[in-house]
């Protein structure tokens, strides 16, 4: 992917990630801490974290088109780096207290849920874009074929 495509993807995913984090926080807090509301400080951390969590997208940067195998490898690397980044940031931001394994696993499962959600939404957006491009190409080829038929008709 080119840097322009990476940046576009990062910006798109930033908004999806922030929304996903807030949704996960609402669900987790309603289960584990129903009296604990999101504070302004926590929202700022979520927005800041969303920016940090898009940085692993740079693993897809390439001067040439990636093969499917290369893309899959980079997707796995991207996910691992993202999980590590999120857990580290969670400790730095104070989202995790102590070394409670259940909290860490819950966070990692939340990251997986947000990751899958972001991937599905991005896939739907890309699918819609590719369908539009294919439809426009088909219309172009139809028009080009009609023009060729008219030219052949007049050449006779």
The tens digit of pLDDT for each residue in 18-77 reads: 888 888 888 888 888 888 888 888 888 888 888 888 888 888 777 788 888 998 898 899
Residues 27 and 84: their CA atoms lie apart, in Å, by 22
Mean pLDDT of 106-124: 84
- At 137, the pLDDT band (50, 70, 90 cuts) reads confident
pTM tops 0.75, yes or no:
no
Q: By the 8 A CB rule, do 1 and 62 touch?
A: yes
E runs forming strands in 4-151: none
């Amino acid at each position: 992917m080119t840097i322009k495509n990476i940046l576009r993807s990062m910006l798109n995913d930033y908004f999806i990630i922030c929304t996903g984090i807030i949704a996960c926080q609402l669900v987790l807090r309603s289960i584990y801490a129903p009296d604990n509301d999101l504070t302004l400080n926590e929202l700022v951390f979520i927005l800041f974290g969303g920016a940090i969590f898009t940085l692993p997208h740079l693993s897809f940067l390439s001067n040439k088109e990636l093969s499917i195998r290369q893309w899959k490898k980079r997707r796995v690397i991207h996910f691992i780096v993202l999980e590590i980044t999120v857990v580290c940031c969670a400790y730095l931001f104070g989202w995790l207290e102590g070394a409670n394994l259940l909290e860490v696993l819950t966070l990692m499962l939340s990251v997986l849920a947000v990751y899958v959600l972001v991937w599905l939404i991005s896939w739907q957006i890309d699918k819609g874009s590719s369908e539009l491009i294919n439809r426009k190409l088909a219309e172009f080829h139809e028009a080009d074929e009609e023009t060729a038929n008219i030219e052949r008709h007049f050449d006779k």
